[in-house]
Chains A and B, each alone.
Chain A
Amino acid sequence: MTDAVAQGSSVTKAAPDTMAWDSGLRRLMMIYLPLGCFVLILLFPFYWMAITSFKPNAELMNYKDHNPFWISSPTLAHIKHLLFDTAYPRWLKTTMLVAIGSTTLSLIASTLAAYAIERLRFRGSPYVGLGIYLAYLVPPSILFIPLATVVVQFGLFDSPLALILVYPTFLVPFCTWLLIGYFKSIPYELEECALVDGATRLQILRRITLPLAVPGLISAGIFSFTLSWNEFIYALAFIQSGANKTVPVAILTELVTGDVYQWGALMAGSLLGSLPVAIFYSLFVDYYVSSLTGAVKE
């Protein structure tokens, strides 16, 4: 308690633009307390997920003798069940394949499109940009039924390839807008110099624009990866067989069996399904924040 107050006042001194009336106690009540509540509530489901996946079943169903907020005898049984008795490794592989495939495809398509719209500047390029932006506003929920028939027509039903081809519908608009913003920030004079020196347009894109846009490409890439990892409705509608399912769909449809839910296994599945993106996220936090805010500001 006193610690936080001391911290608060030291911050007040350190930051000159903090208001003079901003006393330590007031700061504690107005900022740290609500912030603490927010963090607690936002993180609690993850804590609960994690702790459930390591609890033995006896403890899970007995709150009288065991404190539910802690584990008295942790067990790896649920994780082991998930890894060795279910097709989890298979699902993980499919999800990884789909996420990487659709991310690559969308990155290539949207880099070229963004370059054409922002740098090649033709008549009507703002309208093409607007059209791609509008595509982002079409939610998957109104597309999945006709898309299912399209996927069947193409003979791609129940194949991960269908997901790789369909995910760009929401990834390309997002990446294109993000990259247009990045290309805008690269001085056009650089390209003009190269043109004067006799470089072709493609050489300019490859040697000058792309290397300068690497942060934007990383942002777009990790964002697309996360979005495709988390996608649910298309994967649910287009994939039928248990082996080809993606992790989010498989955990919901393959692990929820019967009337008695195996909460330990379910939470272990949720935890393991979330971990890859969470780790990925922790490595690239700044890119996530910048791409999220960049896309909104565009």
Chain B
Amino acid sequence: MSVTTLSSPALAQRQPNWIVRLFDYKPFLIAMCLAPALGLLAVFLTYPLGLGVWLAFTDTTIGRRGIFVGLENFQYLLTDPLWWNAVFYSVFYTAIATFGKFALGFWLALLLNNHFPFKSVLRAIVLLPWIVPTVLSALAFWWIYDPQFSIISYLLVDVLHWRSSNIDFLGSPWPARFSLIAANIWRGIPFVAISLLAGLQTISPSLYEAAMLDGASAWQRFRYITFPMMMPILAIVMTFSIIFTFTDFQLVYAITRGGPVNSTHLLATLAFQRGIAGGELGEGAAIAVSMIPFLVFATLFSYFGLARRKWQQGEAND
């Protein structure tokens, strides 16, 4: 602070240009620096968020300004079996996919944390499913799940002779639900693995040495060193993963579009179908707003994860 006051007079002497002086005036400079980012976020994020909540209480359709109808949209949703179905599948999808992603991703991170040749190449390959546009890899899964020419069915029926008929992946509700979850896990593993690997690499090896000297087994080292040390980063990555799995849209839209018989609708795809495709903006917005309580819950989870990190590490670290 004192530095600024010291330098300003010197500057004013040398450069009498008022524009330069204005840009060196701190409050103005701060405002100028924050304006583009906050402006963009206010117009295209905060305002639509508020507008979305407002739309949820109106009966707006495409091309017609709606009027305020109170809780009517939500009352309707509560009696709508499709909405309940979407809530159920969103929660189910998030729960199973998150569990799968973290179990497999953590395992992969532990594997990648070993010493072996071509490690960086392998790490690059592992991240590939996350880099490629989700819709395009979803199309590949659609083709893999083809009822007639599925390569998995071919392997099981013609090569291994484990089954006598092709698997109908997307034709009936439960197989379709699990097929989508499998595709989501496939796509989520890289992000989880690489993030957790970064966390693993920050754990000091001396902790493991000390535990080995005390005679801790491999499982004990994992349970009492790796796992507690990974808790903070696990909490953050998991919050992100839960939020973006719960609000997932692309995979379901690309592979099943909510079918068969609306059994695989997530809240986001249902909102799209009603709001944009069907033109009922008010109702679509209500469906989208109904996701918010779940997201708030996940964010609070993240907040407490962060608080825990500060408490754990003290102030010496970071």
Contacts and interface: CB of A to CB of B under 8 A. Distances in A.
Interface in B40-78: 40-41, 43-45, 47-49, 51-52, 55, 60
Contacts of A38: 104, 108, 111, 126, 189
Contact of B272 (A112, A135, A149, A237): A237
Interface string A213-229: 00000000000001001
Given A132-B41, A142-B247, A281 B3 contact: no
Contacts, number: 304
B243 A42 contact: no
B129 to A, nearest CB: 6
A110 interface: yes
Contacts of B124: 281-282, 285, 289
Given A145-B52, A297-B198, A46 B117 contact: no
Given A31-B114, A251-B136, A251-B139, A147 B44 contact: yes
Interface stretch (A70-78, A86-94, A270-278): A270-278
Contact of B125 (A39, A108, A169, A233): A39
Contacts of A116: 29-30, 33-34
A129 B116 CA distance: 40
Given A252-B139, A277-B131, 18 more contacts: A31-B111, A34-B107, A38-B189, A49-B140, A122-B26, A128-B34, A139-B295, A195-B3, A200-B23, A202-B29, A232-B250, A237-B276, A252-B135, A252-B253, A270-B137, A278-B131, A289-B127, A296-B233
A21 B194 CA distance: 27
Contact of B143 (A105, A196, A251, A263): A263
Interface residues of A, number: 99
Interface stretch (B80-88, B91-99, B173-181, B286-294): B286-294
A251 B135 contact: yes
B258 interface: no
A101 interface: no
A151 B134 CA distance: 24
A162 B248 CA distance: 22
B268 A141 contact: yes
Contacts of B195: 292-293, 296
A42 B190 contact: yes
Q: How large is the interface on B (under 10, 10 to 19, 20 to 34, 35 or more residues)?
A: 35 or more
A39 B126 contact: yes
Contact of A296 (B32, B126, B198, B268): B198
A11 B117 contact: yes
B249 interface: yes
A61 B285 CA distance: 43
A244 to B, nearest CB: 16
B272 A150 contact: no
Interface centre among A63, A142, A251 (most CB of B within 10 A): A142
B216 interface: no
B316 interface: no
B314 interface: no
B194 A293 contact: yes
A150 B116 contact: no
B14 A198 contact: yes
B128 interface: yes
Contacts of B237: 296
Nearest to A33: B111
B6 A15 contact: no
B217 to A, nearest CB: 11
Contacts of A141: 247-249, 267-268, 271, 288, 291
Interface in B160-203: 186, 189-191, 194-195, 197-199
A143 B34 CA distance: 23
Contacts of A112: 32-34, 36-37
Nearest to A115: B33
A270 B140 contact: yes
Interface string A161-194: 0000110110011001000000000000000100
Contacts of B146: 263
A141 B244 CA distance: 9
B37 A270 contact: no
